[in-house]
Amino acid sequence: MPDPEQSNKELQKVLIEKALEARQWAYAPYSQYPVGAALLADSGKIYSGANIENAAYPDSICAERVAVFTAVHQGERKFQAIAIATDNGGMPCGSCRQVLAEFGLDTRMIIVNEKGEVRVDLPLAELLPMAFTPQELKR
């Protein structure tokens, strides 16, 4: 029987590798802060993303949202985990937390630095307490 602790570690390792790999596709000429994300959907597929900046700064988009939007566009609606890689293990912004919250607060958030060292490994609910979710719109 597979050891759940072991498969958990292996999953974490794969996602971290993919997030680190995704950083190479970042377009970050302004911040010089490449970010990579790897999102594991319930289907078992992994979707990656990198930040894409723009000379009109607000039109830039984070790696996490690139991954989520790519996955949603492929029909995914449930996510198990996302690994996010930056130079220093920076935390995801509020917009990305909110976009992820749309699809569930159980998504495991694995935040790593450029060496793949884990800074945070927590469910989204803990990174976005009292989140505004689709439930709020139900009357």
Binding site for Zn ion (CB under 5 A): 62, 93, 96
- Of 93 and 118, nearer to Zn ion (C-beta) is 93
Find the residue with minimal CB distance to Zn ion. 62
Long-range contacts of 89-92 (CB under 8 A, 24+ apart): 89/113, 89/117, 89/119, 89/120, 90/33, 90/35, 91/120, 91/127, 92/62, 92/64, 92/127
Catalytic residue list: 64
Q: How far is the CB of 21 from Zn ion (least distance, A)?
A: 19
User: Closest Cα to residue 123, out of 82, 76, 64?
Assistant: 82
Q: How far is the CB of 5 from Zn ion (least distance, A)?
A: 30
Q: How far is the CB of 102 from Zn ion (least distance, A)?
A: 14
Q: Hunting for tokens 């998504």 — which residue is that?
A: 107
- Of 43 and 72, nearer to Zn ion (C-beta) is 72
User: Closest Cα to residue 65, out of 80, 82, 78?
Assistant: 82
- Of 97 and 108, nearer to Zn ion (C-beta) is 97
